[in-house]
Structure 1
């Protein structure tokens, strides 16, 4: 049995859009991204919340273990979201893996 990561140990990211066009891309593809990530094996939680800046989102994704996170990362990279947002800057902090 895998030991879940503590809920305070998650991957946090914030897309930092540089233009209204990038904001539109995030808005278009984010709902499906959320749905698919929450369905990923080992996903404990995936939350995306707007901040006071429309170009920045708080993202917290928690996974059961490093292996499930790595599988998720591979799926995302080759997904429609991954292709559509490839040029959008992100700032990541990974804890607990």
Structure 2
């Protein structure tokens, strides 16, 4: 049986705006949010892409481990993005991704 050495953390899902005003907030703040997140030391992958529905974005992210993911969450809550989008619905699933050796 393989030992689990570490677990990356992945998050997938959707950011779902309730109206055009919320969508405008996302568009206004998204580029900076993506830039800051991708610059985080533990970020392996971070994408937020629009869908055919102008109120919905697909989110996919991956961090090296739980500590990096948790640090990201703390930074986001304290950020301009976090404050501006705190009331927007998130429909996310968070998974540990084991690296088997």
TM-score, normalised to structure 1, is: 0.88
Structure 1 residues without counterparts, runs of 5 or longer: none
* Cα distance, 1:3 vs structure 2: 4.4
Higher strand share: 2
Query: Relative to 1, partners in 2 of residues 1:41 and 1:4: Cα closer, same or farther, differing over 3 Å?
Result: farther
* Cα distance, 1:10 vs structure 2: 1.6
Which one scores higher on RCO, CA 8 angstroms, separation ≥ 6? 2
Do 2:16 and 2:55's aligned partners in 1 also have CA atoms closer than 8 Å?
A: yes
For residues 19 and 40 of structure 1, the distance between their equivalents in structure 2, rounded to whole angstroms, comes to 30
For residues 80 and 13 of structure 2, the distance between their equivalents in structure 1, rounded to whole angstroms, comes to 18
SS in 1 for 2:54: coil
- Cα RMSD, aligned residues only: 1.6
For residues 26 and 13 of structure 2, the distance between their equivalents in structure 1, rounded to whole angstroms, comes to 13
Structure 2 residues without counterparts, runs of 5 or longer: none
Which 4+ stretches in 1 moved above 3 angstroms? none
Residue 34 of structure 1 is matched in structure 2 by: 34
Matches within 5 A, 1:6-45: 10-45=10-45
TM-score, normalised to structure 2, is: 0.85
Do 1:4 and 1:63's aligned partners in 2 also have CA atoms closer than 8 Å?
A: no
For residues 22 and 33 of structure 2, the distance between their equivalents in structure 1, rounded to whole angstroms, comes to 15
Residue 79 of structure 1 is matched in structure 2 by: 79
SS in 1 for 2:93: strand
Bigger radius of gyration: 2
Count of residues in Structure 1 that have an aligned counterpart in Structure 2: 93
